[in-house]
Amino acid sequence: MMSSDAIPLAAITDRLYLEIPQVAEQQHQAFSTPGADWQAHLNQMSLAAFLPWLQEEQTSQVWPSVAALSSFWELVNGTAIVCEDMRLVLIPTPEIDLRELRVPQEWVDIPSWSADYYLAVQVNPDAGWIRIWGYATHHQLKTQGAYEDGDRTYSLDEDELIQDLNVLWIARQLCPEESLRAEVAPVPILLRQQAENLLERLGNPAVIFPRLAVPFQVWAALLEHGGWRQRLYERRQGFLNSWSVPQWLQVGLSGLAEQIGWSTRALTIAQGMRSPAERINGLSRQLAIAGHLYELQIFPQGNLEERIWRFELCPLDADRLVPSGFKLRLLTEDLQPFEHNEDIAIEAVDRLYVDVILEPEEGLVWEIEPTPEGYDREILNF
């Protein structure tokens, strides 16, 4: 518990104070600069204090996943949480004199990142507490907020924020269908060579503020692609080619691959009605989709040198089928379709699969409809 002398007198108000768990002080990931490290530390403390409190009352989880957080915190301040049917973004600051909420443009103008509510969080690491001192909606930020081009933020003064977090829950109960978001423009699609050029340039940790180094629309397109965002984070740490599937099968998984749920194991592969099943070494990942568990498998067809790969989705429960309407889709690294790139369940089936022949180092992105819980695009290299 928080000691009584750590709680400021101002806590006897309608603003929420929460204790920072000690474990938040101990967790540490690699970041490219002291500024990014401090930014991540503030976000980690905010999340560790707020999320357990929220989960006591509301079903909620980090968006897109806990494993992806480092790649966000390296590049931009803020942490997103999905709570029931809405999204919150925590915006932490260590400032003592609080006059305004400043939200990075990424959380407002990247369509897949934008949220319903933005919570202003004051973090006091020395005293061990955070304070939720106000919140605003996406619509407020877009229509009333002041945009600052110098640091690419939207800001609202303190007196424009709603200070009592209880109002948020009451509003959701009384007006559950109320639209809280303003329209935002779609971001462009980058070609692979454009993305590679950006990764080469911005992956240099000597670029202290990569989010300000290129035009926003270009930056937004790079970040919205989860695979490129992750690759940018890794390059800034000095890691290269950590998403190679053949390498994972031959020498073992990378640490991040294990964090997000990939494992290597011997898979039992059906060979047809008249042929016995075969055991083959491949990749496996459990996915929660529409309330049930499935397994995504990736394995070579024949020798690795033949470069023929199968992606296969099947239910974990042997008594279940893949429902009608489910889709398994493969895209190029820059999200382009190609011939025979998807399998659709016209009726309930035991599995979906797509076979591909790939060039050395070619990258693929997998997608499933309905979208799995915690899904974040990733680029798998072959």
pLDDT tens-digit readout, 286-305: 999 999 999 999 999 888 88
Least confident of 137-146, 195-204, 250-259, 371-380: 250-259
With a pLDDT cut of 70, the percent of the chain lying above it is 93
pTM confidence score: 0.90
Q: What is the pLDDT of residues 278-287, one digit of tens each?
A: 788 899 999 9
pLDDT of residue 273: 52
Tell me, what amino acid is at 311?
A: F
Task: Check pLDDT > 90 for residue 101.
Answer: yes
Across the range 181-190, mean pLDDT stands at 94
Element (H, E) at 167: helix 166-174
Rounded Cα–Cα distance for residues 26 and 54 (Å):
22
In this prediction, residues 158-170 reach a mean pLDDT of 90
pLDDT in the model for residue 171: 83
Whether the predicted pLDDT of 262 surpasses 70: yes
> What pLDDT band is residue 265 in, cutting at 50, 70 and 90?
confident
Pick the closest to residue 120 from 164, 83, 150 (CA basis).
Answer: 164
DSSP summary character for residue 244 = B
Please list the residues that pair with 342 across neighbouring strands. Answer: 329
Share of the chain above pLDDT 90, in %: 75
Look up residue 71 and give its two tokens.
Answer: 């790649």
Rounded to 5 degrees, φ, ψ at 357 are -110, 125
Q: Does 15 have pLDDT greater than 90?
A: no
pLDDT value for 299 = 94
pLDDT of residue 365: 97
Q: What is the pLDDT of residue 9?
A: 39
What number is the average pLDDT over the span 183-202? 95
Distance CA 331, CA 193 (A): 16
For 43-83, the pLDDT digits (tens) are 999 999 999 999 998 899 999 999 999 999 999 999 999 99
Task: Check if the beta carbon of residue 322 is closer than 8 Å to that of residue 351.
Answer: yes
- Kindly tell me if the per-residue pLDDT of 7 is higher than 70: no
* DSSP-based three-state secondary structure for 317: coil
pLDDT attached to residue 230: 95
User: 182 vs 7, 110, 143, 178, CA distance in Å?
Assistant: 37, 12, 8, 12
Q: What is the mean pLDDT of the chain?
A: 90
Q: What are phi and psi of 299, to 5 degrees?
A: -155, 155
Give the 3-state secondary structure of residue 273.
coil
Q: Which pLDDT score is estimated for 269?
A: 72
Interval 327-369: pLDDT, tens = 999 999 999 999 999 999 999 999 999 999 999 889 999 999 9
| Of residues 160, 31, 156, 50, the one with CA closest to residue 103 | 156
Q: What is the mean pLDDT of residues 306-322?
A: 94
Per 3-state DSSP, what percentage of the chain is helix, strand, and coil (rounded to 5)? 30, 30, 40
